[in-house]
Amino acid sequence: MKASKFYISTLREAPSEAVIASHKLMLRAGITRKLGNGLYTYLPMGVRSLYKLENIIREELEETAGALEFKPTVIVPGDLWKESGRWETMGAQMLKAKNRAEQDMVVSPTAEEAYTAIVRDGLDSYKQLPVNFYQINTKYRDEIRPRYGVMRGREFIMMDGYTMNADDASLDESYNAYEEAYFRIFKRLGLKIIPVKADSGAMGGSGSEEFMVESPIGDDTLIICPNEKCGYAANVEKAECAADESVNKKGEKVPATTLPLEDVATPNVFSIEDMEKFFDESPKMFVKALIYRVINSSLDLSKATGSDKWQQVKDPAGDYYPLSYACVLIRADLDVNEAKLAATLKASEVVLAEADEVLEYAGAPHGFVGPMTAKCPLIVDYSVIKDGEAQMHDAIAGAGKEGFHVKHVEPMRDFVPFINADLRTAKEGDKCACCGGTFYTRKGNELGHIFKLGHKYTKSMHVTFLGQNGKPTEPTMGCYGIGVDRTLASIIETNNDEKGIIWPMSVAPFQVCIVPIKYDGQMKEVADKLYEELKSAGIEVFLDDRNERPGVKFADMELIGIPLRITVGDKNLPNVEFKPRAASEAELVPATEAGAKAVQFVKDELAKLKA
């Protein structure tokens, strides 16, 4: 391709709203342009890289995961989302609309419902399973605060893969095949990926794993064990750590007490820090009690304290409580992990209750909430009770009345959990439960995610097939996603310098650029000959034949980030400059040898990424 026939739209400076490297460089290099808040258009230079990325995904999914491409619509009937139960629970990020017939429609944020409905209509026998489809399609989520360009936009491109399997063993095979494909995809893109255990969130299901890339502007915090043989890594929303003992300020483990509960007047003692000073004791001796508002819990709460106040909605997709409450108990030096709490309560969201709600369900304001007087179910962390055994003894907690705390609290004697679970937030310095190593943290961005959805959608949407035993059987499902735009941005975020982008060969818009100092005379003749030679060899070559100053051409080519530049200048002929984008210096090679050397360079770089 010649520059005179191509659209180059570079900027000297990025708009002030661009604060991260990928956002700045995608705008400056003419990869994207902003159309609206959270909405970006790919320009021709960006489309070339985008399609290359998509094709790498296609190749590996089809070859490694055995997936077949399908193309669902972007607009999906709302009735399908009502069947699955996510019409109400997906939240405000889902863009809903009505057509002229007043039918509810959804601008698809994800495609589980569409896939399930399509496969359901044609599924008869176990002989058809597994059904393994993927799609690369545009999605829309009404992000409350889109930022960082395509890294977190409102409209975006996703690869979604789905498998419908006859049983869990088959699902495991599909899951493992996609996992292998993901490693191959990201290797070919030149990205170093950290696979981490993750929370399934609104997707539902059981097992899930995220594929993260380290980034200083990452949305996620990764908890990582330094022991390479162990290899434990998890998103902070899912990370588990080894238990540590509850000890007093002297570092001593406190035995169980037979002393009765004792109220202590504690005026103006509200925070954990206040309690430490007042009682002259370690926070590991305090039980922290927090009242949470629980949204759309699908747990059976009929026997829970306070359930007589909550309305249960009967739904074909599964009964749920739009609003309920819980009192969460955890050791005072620890933080509640709200993602774990939501998963434990099978809720779409949990938020700390407002002051009036705390009074209603605790009988006391925040700071004095007590486990013995709570008027909602006790959800107790393993730091307080685990497997029916108290992990704290002779503890101090809120008394359930303003201005008072209570001493000599014995978990399992004075209160028992409605649910007992791991609810703590793991942090840097905690110990690995697998090997005892000391965790460290890194910021990361999620590029891919794989889920074992199980029966969440097949059950709610009434999918069955005729099993080997001749009886109707419900299939199980897997879901596999890659954020295409986010991956492209992460490649740039990882590969750049002060001059611009440094594309890996696999996704560069062009593999080689030829820059004649002046497109005239012998320089034009040599440049054209090299251009035709490289085209004939199957190399994607860009010839900068513009009538521009050399400095402008060099700056543009470095900004755009084409992996190899061949410069044709009259001072060096019959030699030309051969400069890989990542190299600090160019080398002179005979013009007659430059083409073959460039072809070999491209092949070698692609081979490294595919090795």
Give tens-digit pLDDT for 283-313: 999 999 999 999 999 999 999 999 999 999 9
The single residue listed with the structure tokens 């491109």 is 157
pLDDT at 202: 43
Same domain (yes/no): 59, 201: yes
Distances 310 to 324, 346, 361, 415, 490 between C-alpha atoms, Å: 6, 16, 12, 23, 45
Reported as a pLDDT band with limits 50, 70 and 90, residue 377 is very high
Same domain (yes/no): 83, 212: yes
Q: Tell me if 32 is assigned to some domain.
A: no
Please enumerate in sequence order all residues whose Cβ is within 8 A of that of 209, keeping only pairs 6 or more positions apart, or say none.
179, 195, 196, 197, 198, 449, 450
Q: Would you state the structure tokens that stand for residue 521, as one six-digit string?
A: 């005379």
Q: Give the lowest-confidence range in 250-259, 267-276, 405-414, 479-488.
A: 267-276
Q: Specify whether the CB–CB gap between 323 and 436 falls below 8 A.
A: no
Q: Would you state the structure tokens that stand for residue 287, as one six-digit string?
A: 């039980």
Q: How many domains does the chain have?
A: 3
Same domain (yes/no): 209, 83: yes
Q: Tell me if 504 is assigned to some domain.
A: no
Q: Tell me if 24 is assigned to some domain.
A: no
Residues 349-361: tens digit of each pLDDT:
999 999 999 999 9
Q: Tell me if 138 is assigned to some domain.
A: yes
DSSP-derived 3-state class of residue 27: helix
Q: Is 480 exposed, middle or buried (0-12, 13-18, 19+ CB in 10 A)?
A: buried
Q: Tell me if 590 is assigned to some domain.
A: yes
Of the candidates 461, 492, 523, which is a domain's last residue? 492
Q: Would you state the structure tokens that stand for residue 138, as one six-digit string?
A: 């545009």
Q: Tell me if 407 is assigned to some domain.
A: yes
How much of the chain exceeds pLDDT 90, in percent?
88
Closest by Cα among 274, 273, 318, 327 to 299 = 318
Q: Tell me if 17 is assigned to some domain.
A: no
Q: Specify whether the CB–CB gap between 67 and 132 falls below 8 A.
A: yes
Reported as a pLDDT band with limits 50, 70 and 90, residue 317 is low
Same domain (yes/no): 580, 543: yes
Which helix (H) or strand (E) element contains residue 89? helix 86-89
Same domain (yes/no): 477, 529: no
Q: Would you state the structure tokens that stand for residue 55, as one six-digit string?
A: 């094709």
Contacts made by residues 10-19, CB under 8 angstroms, sequence distance 24+: 10/555, 10/556, 10/559, 10/560, 18/149, 19/148
Q: What is the mean pLDDT of residues 220-229?
A: 90
CATH number at residue 559: 3.40.50.800
The single residue listed with the structure tokens 């943290």 is 441
CATH number at residue 285: 3.90.960.10
Q: How far is 369 from 311, CA to CA, in rounded Å?
A: 24
Structural domain span for residue 481: 46-239+441-492
Same domain (yes/no): 119, 162: yes
Same domain (yes/no): 68, 158: yes
How much of the chain exceeds pLDDT 70, in percent?
98
pLDDT at 203: 42
pLDDT at 217: 80
Same domain (yes/no): 395, 524: no
Same domain (yes/no): 66, 171: yes
DSSP for 127-190? GG--EEEEEEEEEE---SS-BTGGGB-SEEEEEEEEEEESSHHHHHHHHHHHHHHHHHHHHHTT
The single residue listed with the structure tokens 């502007």 is 217
Closest by Cα among 201, 202, 93, 106 to 141 = 93
Same domain (yes/no): 72, 210: yes
Task: Give CA 12 to chain center in angstroms.
Answer: 32
pLDDT at 199: 57
Q: Would you state the structure tokens that stand for residue 552, as one six-digit string?
A: 């402008």
CATH number at residue 165: 3.30.930.10
Q: Specify whether the CB–CB gap between 423 and 330 falls below 8 A.
A: yes
Same domain (yes/no): 279, 350: yes
Reported as a pLDDT band with limits 50, 70 and 90, residue 235 is confident
Q: Tell me if 270 is assigned to some domain.
A: yes
Distances 226 to 215, 429, 431, 436, 443 between C-alpha atoms, Å: 18, 11, 11, 10, 15
Question: What is the average pLDDT value for the chain, to the nearest integer?
Answer: 94
DSSP for 191-221? ---EEEE---GGG--S-EEEEEEE-TT-SEE
pLDDT at 198 over 80: no
pLDDT at 381 over 90: yes
Q: How far is 373 from 358, CA to CA, in rounded Å?
A: 12
pLDDT at 181: 97
**Does a cis peptide bond (omega within 30 degrees of 0) precede residue 574?**
yes
**For residue 446, what are the β-bridge partners?**
212
Residues 126-173: tens digit of each pLDDT:
999 999 999 999 999 998 889 899 999 999 999 999 999 999 999 999
Same domain (yes/no): 405, 449: no
Closest by Cα among 84, 81, 83, 108 to 94 = 108
Task: Give CA 449 to chain center in angstroms.
Answer: 6
Please enumerate in sequence order all residues whose Cβ is within 8 A of that of 364, keeping only pairs 6 or more positions apart, or say none.
358, 370, 373, 398, 399, 400, 401, 402
